Homo-oligomer: A and B are copies of this chain.
Amino acid sequence: MKKKKKVGIIGGAGYTGGETIRLLLNHPDVELSFVQSRSQAGKYLHSIHEDLVGDTTLKFSKDNSLDVDVIFLCLGHGESSTYLNENKIPEKIKIIDLSQDNRIEGGHSFVYGLPELNKQRIQDANRIANPGCFATAIQLGLLPLASEGLLSSIHTTAITGSTGAGRQLQDTTHFSWRSNNISAYKTHTHQHLAEINQSLKSLQSSFHGSLYFIPWRGDFTRGIFVSSTLPFQGDLKSAYTLYRHYYKDHPFTSVSEAMINLKQVVNTNKCLIHIELINDQIVIHSAIDNLIKGASGQAVQNMNLMLGLDETSGLKLKAVAL
């Protein structure tokens, strides 16, 4: 029997921390050594992540151990950089940073951890910047077109669940406000645009970032559903062929000829894509679970790749489905 790798989590009290814990506790090839949290140190994990009652008696630690193979940084934006400045992590410990601090490449050694774009580089990396949730869902809808240089002006609307806004209490995550409600925010200015453009340009250097992105807040907790529209010359069959070819070696991203819906992917690491062609425009619908393929699941997928494990190890998750 292969010896299990040891992993630790920095910042384990938030939503991505909780999801990462859930995935790692059930992962067959790794052992969760510590979960650090400044705010919750000393408390049981299940006092904060209440579903873990009966699953683990681990407590949040104040400090991190360096006797691990992988560290996940589940910290807020900005806090990862601070943490890495204040704590020198040896090169031999792999780091997966779920914040946005290192997603724009250059000036550091972090690789942008979108396996459908960078699988080989991830396998060779010691430092991974895990993509944003909207960024993952939107890119997976566009990468095949970019790979063929087919992107032009793109109109994207995407709706996200409330967990995307994190655990902290806010007016826009108050149940009485959010329930049965829809709203828009950060029109064309969402912070994920930078990493999306970076990826698209890496495949299609002629792309100049005319991606008009309207994010909506949805009245559900988990998931992102995206519809992107752009000019397209080919026929529907060629589009499906292109997408199927692009994703043939990627176990979590599937192309569906039937229309997709969000709950097909909720509580899984999957991305589903459906394509339509109307007149001169292609419409690409894509869906993910924002906390899994959009955060913690993709982080574990990156870990699997970095450690040479099966890419799907610990990630064959039962969909909530209903």
Contact = CB atoms under 8 A, between A and B. Distances in A.
A170 interface: yes
A80 to B, nearest CB: 22
A270 to B, nearest CB: 6
A322 B276 contact: no
Contacts of A187: 227, 276, 278, 283
Given A50-B264, A229-B212, A267-B320, A179 B182 contact: no
Contacts of A51: 263-265, 268, 319, 321
A221 B266 contact: no
Contacts of A174: 167, 169, 173-175
Given A54-B270, A272-B54, A321-B22, A182 B214 contact: no
B173 A176 contact: yes
Interface in A175-234: 175-185, 187-189, 212, 214, 216, 218-223, 225, 227, 229
A121 interface: no
Interface in A227-281: 227, 229, 252, 254, 256, 258-268, 270, 272, 274, 276, 278-279, 281
Contacts of A167: 174, 176
Nearest to A49: B321
A182 B254 CA distance: 18
Interface size class on chain A is: 35 or more
Interface stretch (A2-10, A64-72, A99-107, A157-165): A157-165
A110 interface: no
B188 A214 contact: no
Contacts of A22: 318-319, 321
Contacts of A50: 258, 260-261, 263-264, 321
A285 interface: yes
A31 to B, nearest CB: 15
A221 B316 contact: no
Contact of A283 (B54, B214, B316): B214
A262 B157 contact: no
A91 interface: no
29 contacts: A51-B263, A51-B321, A52-B319, A53-B260, A54-B272, A155-B155, A155-B229, A157-B227, A159-B182, A162-B175, A162-B179, A165-B176, A167-B174, A173-B175, A175-B221, A179-B179, A179-B220, A180-B223, A180-B266, A181-B262, A182-B223, A182-B225, A187-B278, A188-B276, A188-B281, A214-B283, A219-B219, A222-B322, A267-B267
Interface of A: 15, 18-19, 22-23, 26, 47, 49-54, 155, 157, 159, 161-163, 165, 167, 169-171, 173-185, 187-189, 212, 214, 216, 218-223, 225, 227, 229, 252, 254, 256, 258-268, 270, 272, 274, 276, 278-279, 281, 283, 285, 287, 291, 316-322
